[in-house]
Structure 1
Amino acid sequence: MFFFCSFILPDQTRGQEKAYELLPSPDMWYNSVDGIRIGVNFVGQVPGTFEDGPHRLNAGVWLGLWFPSMPVSYQLLYTEPVPGWSEFGSEASVQFLSSIRTGYHRHGAGFNKRWQPGFQENKFRELNIFNTFEKRFNRSYTAFPALWSEDSKILATAAFKMQDENFLGLYFFELESSLQYLNDSFIVSSLTAFQKIDLNRHWGFRFRAFTGVNSSASAPEYLYSRSMNPAIRWMNNGVTRAKGTIPQNWIESGSLHIAGGANIRGYMHSDVKSFVECENEVELCSSLYHSILSFNAEFDFWNPVDALLNKNNYASEFLRFRSYLFYDTGSSTGWIGDQPAEIFSNAGAGISFSLNIPDYLGKSRGFVLRYEMPFWISDPTNGNSISFRSLFGFGAVIAF
C-alpha cells in the first residue's frame, strides 16, 4: 500500500514545499477473528481543498491483536478528478481501489460522474462504472458461512442514481447491474425507487419499491432473503462486515434487523433461523431467492420528542426522532429456475432516531437506530399471525 501511495502522490509531498498532505487518524475496531484491531486511517489531499480537489486518497492499515492467519489488513481508495468533464458539484473522476480485510479481497478501477445544479445537493444524477476482482478467502469472518462462496470473481458493474423533486415531494431512483464473467458467469440486477410525501414536518408518507433478479448461477452472497440485505451488501458497513462486531447471539436471535433488499422486516426471525439451520450448505437455505419484488410503506405521525427537537433550529437540522406505522409486502417472483412464487406481508409500528451531517456533496453521513414491532405477518412459521414481535435495527431503506 505504501509503495502504491509513493507512486501516485506528487513529488512535492516529500519535499519542503507542502503541495500535498497526509492526515492520519487512529482507528480501533473489533471482530471475533482479528480480536481488537488497531490501525491508522489516512486522508490525502492538496492543502485547502477539503477532500474536493485532485489526488484524493482514503486509506487505512490495521493489525489484528489476536494474530489470525492474516493479521495485517488494509484498504485504499484513490480518486482523481477529470478536469475537462468536471465543474462545481458535477465532478467526473476515475478511482482505483484495493483492499484485503475481514477475509475478503477487492481490487479494481472505475469511473464516476455526478450532475448537480449548483448548490442543490438534493437534486443530482450519478453514474458509476466499475470493474473489480473479488474473492472471499476466509469464511470464518462471516456471520452465516452458507451465504458465501469462495470462488474468485471479476465483476463489471454499472449503477445509475437520480434524486429530484416532483409534485409529491422528494424522490430517488437507482438501477444497478453486475456481470460476473470469470468461470461460471452470472448477472445480478436491482431496481429501487423511493417517494417521500410530506404533509408537514411531523406527518407524511414514505414509499419504496424494490426488485432484484439473479441468474441461476449466481453466488449465494447475491441471493435475496425476504427481510434484509443480501450478504454481499453487509460488506459496505463496518458494523456488519465481520462476525463478532455485533455479538453473534444477537444476530442469530433474529431480533436485529439489517435494512435493505426486499425489507419485509417481520420475516427477519424466520430468515435467520433458516440461515443457522442450513450451516454450510446454501442449497438447504429455504429463505433465499433468485428474484424478489417488494413494496414498503411508512406513515409518519406526530410525537412529542420530535416536536421538542423541532423547536431548536440547530438540532432540527441534524437530528430526527420519527414515529411511524409500516406495511411491507413482497413476492418471490418465480422468474428464475423452479422457485415457486410466494407472497409475504407484514404490518406494525416503529420509532427511529437519526443523526445526519451531510458531506460537501450533500450525501448523508450519520446513522439511523430503529425499534420496530411487526405485530402482523401473513405467513408465520409457527404461532399466530397477530403477535407481539420486536426488532432492533440500524440503517433505513427509506432515509432521505
Structure 2
Amino acid sequence: MIESLQSQLNDANTPPQQAAKKVAHPRKIAFVCNPKMGGSGIIATELAMALAERGHHVWLLAEKHPYSWRQVSDTLYFLKLEVNDYPVFESAPHTLALAGALANLIEQENIEIVHAHYAVPYAAAAVMAKQICKQPFQLVTTLHGTDVVKLADDPAMHRVIDTVLNQSQRVICVSDDLAQQTHQRFDLPVYPEVIANFVPPGKMFAGSRQQAREQLQLDQQASYLIHASNFRKIKRIPDIIKSFALVRQQRDCQLILLGEGPEVTPCQDLAVQLGMADDIIWVGQEPNINRWFAAANVNLQLSDYESFGLTLIECMVQGVPTVANNVGGMPEVVAGTGRLVTVGDIEATAQNVLSLLDEQRQSPAEMHQRCIDKANSNYTSEAVCIAHEAVYHGLLVTEAKTA
C-alpha cells in the first residue's frame, strides 16, 4: 500500500526552499486531534498546516494550541475547545463538548470535511456531531495505532470503535501493518487507505552533525544514541537503557533521552542502579527536537508496537539510522537503512548498535546518504498532501453525484 504511493512520492519531492503549490480547488476542512506531544498530534497538526499552505481553509479544534502549531498561513485557523467542569460528572465531558463545538463550526463555516486523528475520542465526537448538525459533512478518520491495537481489546470500546469506523466515509492508516490489523479486527465496507507519515521541510535541522553538536555543546568525537517518546510502558525505555549499558561496556558513548511521561522517574532509578546515570542526557520536552536527532549516531525505538514510528523518519531525514523492534509498521520504515531486532532482545540490540557505529566510522557519508535518500523518496509532505487531497476530492465528488 505504501509502495503504491511511490510514484506520487517521487514526483512530489519538493526541496525545502520551494514554496508549497497552491491547489486549484481549496476545501474547507476541520481537524481534531490530540494537542499534546506525541506522533499522532504532531502529524495531524503538520498535515493541517501543510494543507493550509497549499490554499485549503483549515480549522484545528483543540483544548490548546497543539505541540507543533505554527501560524503558517492566513487560511489556517485555531479554535480553542472550551471544556467546563460540572459537579454532576466525575470528569469533564470532553467528547460531548467537542461534538457540540464541531457542529457549531461546521454550520458556521460550511465545513466540507472533518478529519479526525484517532477513532476515540475524536472521530466519536465527529459521529455525534453528525447527529446534531444541520449540515452534512464527510468524515475522514486516520488511525495511528493505539485505538486498534490497545483500546479495541476492551469489548465495550471495540463496539464504539467499530461503529465510528463504519460511520466514517474513509479510514486512513499510516502503515500496511496497521491497515491489515484494522481490516482483521473490524468489519469495514472499504479496506483502509494507507498514507505514510512525513517530516515537514521546516522541521528539519539544516546543518551538519558537527553544527548540531556545536549548538548543543556536545563532544564532536563522541558517539551518541538517542530516543524520543512520551515515556509510556509501551515504549520499553528500560530495554533502551539496558541495551545502552551493554554498548557502554564496549564503546565510550552517551544516551540522549527526549520527552516526558509516566516512565521517566522509574527509568531514572534504573539508570542509577546500572551505574549509567552520568552517561545519560535527560533533555525532557524539547521543541527543536530535530537538532538533537541530527547530532546523534543511532536512534533506538524498542516499543512493544508502533504502527509507524514518527521518530524513525525524523532521524532518517537527518541521516541517522535506527535499531528498532521487528513489530508493527517499523520494519516497513526501517528497511534498507537500519536494523531490526526481536522484542526484548537487549543483547542483539547492543550488537546491532555497535555494528552501525562501526559502519559509520568506516563509511559515514554512505550511511548518512542512504538514510536521507529513503526519507526523500518516501516521506515528503508534498506527496502526503496530494494523497489526502485525492481522498477528500473522491469523497466530495461522490457526494455531489449522489446528492
Query: TM-score normalised by the shorter chain: which range applies?
Result: under 0.3
> Which is bigger in relative contact order (C-alpha 8 A, separation at least 6)?
2
Structure in which a larger fraction of residues adopt strand: 1
Structure in which a larger fraction of residues adopt helix: 2
